[in-house]
Amino acid sequence: MGWTDERVESLKKLWQDGLSASQIAKQLGGVTRNAVIGKVHRLGLSGRATPSKPARPVFKAPRPARPAAAPAAPRRIAEPAVAVASAPAPTPVRYVDEAPGSATVLTLGAHMCKWPIGDPSSDSFTFCGRRQDEGVYCLEHARVAYQPVQTKKRSGANELARSLRRYI
């Protein structure tokens, strides 16, 4: 259906009243929302009397501040005491961050070695957990993870000729 003068005047009035393009298309009948939008642009209609949606308040309530989590002290695990015939020896205490394979995802801290131990899909999967001062791994695992840069041997004319022979 074409745009008659009567339909164009009706479009202009409805547009100035603040109706949306979908609402205007329904009232006019026989045209789509996109046809209304196209005609509005071709006619150069820009200003509207009122917005099609009611204005929402701009102010949003501030979120409550999160409490800062205090760093947890390392847990102590008592070693089983070995029975000795002489005087009883004091039970040595070791810290979890010193025993490899004792940290889980939930207990892994910022200064703990993050070297994975075991299969990630199993329940016994852990991380090394030893204390580290730099990087993400303890000294032992850093030696494995970071290999020294190998120096490349300088290739001479013979080496170049040998490598080119593969392509001939």
Is the pTM higher than 0.75?
A: no
Q: If DSSP codes are grouped into helix, strand and coil, which group holds residue 27?
A: helix
* 135 Rama sector, left if φ>0, alpha if ψ -120 to 50, beta otherwise: left
Confidence tier at 3 by pLDDT (50, 70, 90): confident
Note the pLDDT of residue 122: 85
Continuous segment of H or E residues that includes residue 9? helix 5-16
Arithmetic mean of pLDDT, 100-127:
84
* Helix extents (H) in 32-88: 33-43
Arithmetic mean of pLDDT, 94-107:
65
Please tell me the distance from the alpha carbon of residue 88 to that of residue 71, in angstroms, as a whole number. Answer: 35
Q: What is the pLDDT of residues 7-42, one digit of tens each?
A: 999 999 998 888 889 999 999 988 999 999 999 999
Please tell me the distance from the alpha carbon of residue 23 to that of residue 37, in angstroms, as a whole number. Answer: 11
